[in-house]
Amino acid sequence: MRGMGVAGFGSVCSKDRATPDIVTPDANARDPVCSFDASVSQNAALAGHGYRSTMNRTTLFLAALAAAVVFAGAVYFVLRIAHVAEPAATTVQGPTSRRLWATAAAATALAGAATGAMALARPSGRFGTRAATACTALAGSVGAINGGLVLAFADGGPGSGNGVVGGAAALVLGVVALAWVCLGRTRSHTKP
């Protein structure tokens, strides 16, 4: 709004007055008071945006940290239930066939959990279609089943080369992917 200035008290800018008091030889020269008025309002707007941006980053970081703690706790819980939480007496180094199997199962379950989360966040997007939901459910169930099989065939804990940590992670991520699918399906049925 022209002529309002800072905080609605009226502008002291010479361009806002009906008749300028002094005509300067350079008509294109910027009035320092006008430019200060504009820069104050721009800086106030930018300061508010920067504060919100920092708050969003902090909230996102804390949410990710909480999710990582819950995930680690769930993996440890699964290892305790499967009775393979105790570390092995001798550690096997390098990839083994069971570790690779567990890694593949965890990657499949992670892909299912990620696509399920994206479908839940944007149900009208490309991940919210029936085909994408079916792929998410398939990836989650394949990851969970294979993670469970890795744990069932394991005869030692972490470090034994059996891939128990990857199997437990695959089981947890597969269940999360299936939970996202179920939550998305119930949301789509309850919307008018």
**How far apart (Å, rounded) are the C-alpha atoms in residues 135 and 36?**
57
* Structure tokens that stand for 182 in this block: 């179920």
For 36, 44, 63, 111, 113, the CA distances from 107, given in Å and listed in that order, are 56, 46, 22, 6, 10
Q: How far apart are CA 82 and CA 105, in angstroms?
A: 17
Neighbours of 176 (CB within 10 A): 23
Enter the tokens of residue 45.
Answer: 């707007």
**Tokens found for residue 171:** 């089981």
Structure confidence at residue 60 (pLDDT) = 85
pLDDT of residue 125: 79
Tens-digit pLDDT profile for residues 124-164: 778 778 888 899 999 999 999 999 999 999 988 898 989 99
Taking the whole predicted model, whether its pTM rises above 0.75 is answered as no
Q: Give residue 56's pLDDT.
A: 85
> For residue 1, what pLDDT is reported?
46
The pLDDT value given to residue 5: 47
DSSP per residue over 118-173, as a string? HHHH-TTSGGGSHHHHHHHHHHHHHHHHHHHHHHHH--S-TTSSS-HHHHHHHHHH
- Phi, psi at residue 27, to the nearest 5°? -75, -20
Which residue ranges in the chain fall short of pLDDT 70? Answer: 1-52, 188-192
Query: Could you tell me the two tokens for 128?
Result: 């919210």
